[in-house]
Each structure stands twice: as structure tokens, then as C-alpha cells.
Amino acid sequence: MNLIKTVSIISGWTAISRILGMAREMLMTYYFGVGFVSDAFIVAFKLPNFFRRFLADGAFSSILVPEYSRRLSKDPPHVIDQFKNNIFTHLLLFLTLLVLCVEIFAPYVVRFIAPGMDMNPQQSQIVTEFIRINFPFIMFIALSTFYASLLNSHGHFSTSSALPVVLNIVMVAGLCLPASNTLTKGYIVSWSVMVAGILQLVWVFLRSYHIKINIKLVKPVIDPGFKVFIKKLLPSMFGAGVMQINLLIDIQLASYLGTGALSYLYYADRLYQLPLSMFGIAIGTSLLPYLTKLWANNRGEDVYKVQNQSLILVLFLNIPAAIGLIVLAQPIIELIYGRGSFSAFDVTQTYKVLQAYALGLPAYVCSKIFLSTFYSLGDTKTPFKIAGISVLSNFIFNIILMNFLGFVGLALATSITAYIQTFLLGHTLTQHQHLKIQKKLWVQVGKILFLGLLMGLGVHYFYIYMHGIVQKIPFLISISGSLSKIGLTFFSIGFGLGIYMLCSSKMGFIQQFKAFKQDLKESI
């Protein structure tokens, strides 16, 4: 399976998941709004997802995929089986211990992740109960990620990419169930998270079994293969999870900024994660096994070519996405969240956070390319060191900016830190001759930025112009407000995409990506 096709599969499933995720968030804002219960559920839901992205999706898969891929190409079957079975058994034991500790010490966990909530004993108690219900989700999703990593190593990306769809479907179903009050609805949704985790594990297990990837519990041993794996995993956990550490710091500080701050950050984060997951994470995930094989075969020049083309591709997709989110932040937030218990004031607060997050989008997607390069080389120490600098800089910018901009400052600090981390990763790779940025790339980035700004200006004035027309035509005024907003927002997005794609085609970007696809077919 070639890289472009793999990216398309991952991006396609991610798009479906994000659309369902938007439906989930729309229902959450409709029923919960911004307040007591929403903040409590968000903190409780963030905790297992923090460990999922920090342990499973981030570090664990980034190490397991290249290690397992190398063994597939050189080791006999019984050695491969021993390696994966031993890792699985250790993982299961660790997860069991982790879940038990959090269940027992949940009140202290709340004080750590959201210390500001400790000032409200009732809310602190509700968060504790929510955590105890949905935290075991981490066990099921981490084991699912283990199976998904093996599937990815065998070239089967669709099942692992579709896993988040299950979570969103089950949570949407939970939100649609009748409840006597908002708090009861919160308990129902918390239980739905657990149910989704079980279904995800069952699905990925059946798919793995179908293609004869069999896992058995064995007596855990600390053999040389396990030692190498852990030696790479521990620094990688911190390096790959730096974004999650920064988000955890945001939660801790936001808990002091009053009711609603956590909800504003969460709802904005969900929207800006859409392009990040579809294009940045998808391409980074797809690159890892390919780069590992290229380095193993001493094909450095091919690596440089893939790196440069991948950077152009992610920036081509994400620079206009970032500009679009900034320009249309208010109508997008109003369209998706502005109903039910979510007030006009909540819309205003959330769209400001979205704009701050969107500024860092180009940096985030580039960092995924650089991190994949490090992991394909088996280097986890360097990302670990850079992650330490990033966490420190994020904390410093948080403290400075939150005093002037409140919770918006927390989002802006996260974006600034993304650029610092990306620069350090890229600079280090270049110094060690594991990355060669071609002059052509800078020219292409300049063109993309110009096209993105042109699109942004066009969308801004198009939206203002069309909004004025809608207000002057009686027939359009009489149409439901929601329908008018939907039409106006989607027409504006379509207009912007039309400008961008037309101009990019004239500048040769489409032809360039077609040539990139052909090169990959021939070289990988």
C-alpha cells in the first residue's frame, strides 16, 4: 500500500470520526452548555484521554511500530511471537495497576489535575465519581492501540483509523438517551465512554485474529528485546506526549479561572483538532513505517525527498485550514455550538480560544513529520530533551499570558510553544544530517502562505457581503436562523476553498502532489 493511499484511508476515517465528534460536541453543548457539569465531565473525560495520547497513541505506537516492523523483516516467527506476547503481558499488568491506583486515589487525582475545583467540594465530588466511571476506558483503548500498531505494521491501517468512530457513535447514543436532569446525563455519558472502550477492543481483536495476528498471555520476562523497547519507550512517552503535558498544565491553570474556562478550552480544542488529526497525525502515522524501511536500506536521499514533499503537503493543507479557522471562528462556533444551553457569550469566548489555537496548527503538523523521523531512526532521547524545553516554555508563557488574556492566553501559549518545539526538532535533525530542507520548500511555503492569506481576505469580505445581502432580503430573513447560518458559513467555506484550489492548481501544486504520489509508488 503506497503512502498517499494510506494517508487517504487514515484521513478518510478521521474525517468520519471528526464529523461524528462534532455531532457529539453539539449535543454536549446543547444539553450541558458551559457550567458546573460540563467542566466536571470534561476534566474526567480528559484524564483517560491524556493517558491514551501520552501512552498509547503517542509514545507506545511510535516505538512499537518500527520495532515490530524491523523484527518482521529479519526475525523468525517464534521470536516475533515472544516479543509481542511479552510486550502485551507487561502492558496489561501496567494498565491494571494504573486503573486500580486511579480508582482508589481518585480524589487526590482531581486535586492534582484541577486544583481550582477543590474550592468547590460538590463539584470536586462529581468529578471524582465521573473519573471512577470512565477511567477504565484507558485499559481498553491502550490494548486496542497495541493491536492497531501491529495491524499498521502489517499494512492494515483502516481498522485502527476507524476506532474513534466507535467511541463517537456510542457517546452520541448516550447523549440521546432521556435523562431527568443535566447531572444524570453526565453519568450516562460517562458510562457510554466505558462501553465504547470495550467495543473498540473487541473490534480490533477480531480484525487481528482474522489476519492471524494472535496474542497470548505469557510469563512476563525482562529479556533483551523488552529492555531495548522500554529504553526507547520511556523518553518517548515524554517526548511524544509534550502536547498532552501542555494541555494538562492548561487544565490545571484554567481550573483557577472560574466556571466555564475549562469548557471553552475543550470545545475550541475539539474543533482545531480536526485538521490536525486529518492531515498532520495521519501523515505522521503513515510515514513512520516507510521512513523506518528507507533508513534500514540506507536510502537517505529518498528520505530527504519524502520529508520535503510531506512538509509541503501538510503545510498546503493546514496553512489555509488555520487561516480559515481564524477568519471564520465566530460563525463556525456559532453554527456548531450556538444552541440550547450554549449562550451568545459562550460563543464569543470559545471563538477567541479557537483563533489562538489555530495559530499553532502549521507548527503542530510539521512537528509530527520531524517526530516520525526521530522515531524511525530509533532516537527517542532527543525528542525527550526538546520536550522538556517545550514544557518549560509553555508554563512560562502560560503564566505571562493568562494574566493579560485569561484562558485565551493559555491557548496562545500552547501555539507559541508549538513553534519553539518544531524549530528545535527541525534544527536538531538538520545538524545531524537526518533532514535536508531544500530551497524549493521555502519557495513553496511562501506561495502557500500567499495563497492562504489571499483566501482569508476573500472569505472575510465574502462573508460580510453575503451577510449584508441576507439581512436585506425578506425571504432570507424569514428562513430559520440556523438554516441561514448553515448556508452562509458553508458558502463562505466553499468560496474560500474554490479560490485556494483554483490558484494552487495554476501554481502547479496539484501536479506536484501527483508526481509525489508516482515517485512513492516507484521508490517504496
Span 420-424, mean pLDDT? Answer: 93
Instruction: Answer whether residue 191 shows pLDDT above 80.
Output: yes
Under the banding of pLDDT at 50, 70 and 90, the label for residue 284 is: low
Span 53-78, mean pLDDT? Answer: 72
| Sign, CA torsion 467/471/476/478 | positive
Instruction: Answer whether residue 497 shows pLDDT above 60.
Output: yes
pLDDT digits over 322-348, tens only?
A: 999 999 888 888 888 877 778 888 889
Where do the structural domains in the chain lie, given as residue ranges?
A: 3-437, 442-524
Distance, in Å, from the CA atom of 443 to the CA atom of 456, rounded to the nearest integer, reads 20
What's CA 143's distance to the chain center, in Å? 19
Tell me the CB-side half-sphere exposure of residue 52, using CA atoms within 13 A: 20
- The pTM of the full predicted model, rounded to 2 decimals, is 0.74
Span 442-457, mean pLDDT? Answer: 89
Question: Contacts by 301-304 with C-beta closer than 8 Å and gap 24+?
Answer: 302/523, 302/524, 303/373, 303/434, 304/435, 304/436, 304/438
CA distances from residue 415 to 54, 144, 266, 398, 494 in whole angstroms, order as listed: 18, 30, 15, 11, 27
Phi-psi region of 473 (alpha: psi -120 to 50; beta: other; left: phi over 0): beta
Residue 478's pLDDT is: 46
Instruction: Answer whether residue 368 shows pLDDT above 60.
Output: yes
Least confident of 124-138, 165-179, 306-320, 504-518: 504-518
Mean per-residue pLDDT of the chain: 81
Helices (H) and strands (E) in the chain, counts: 23, 0
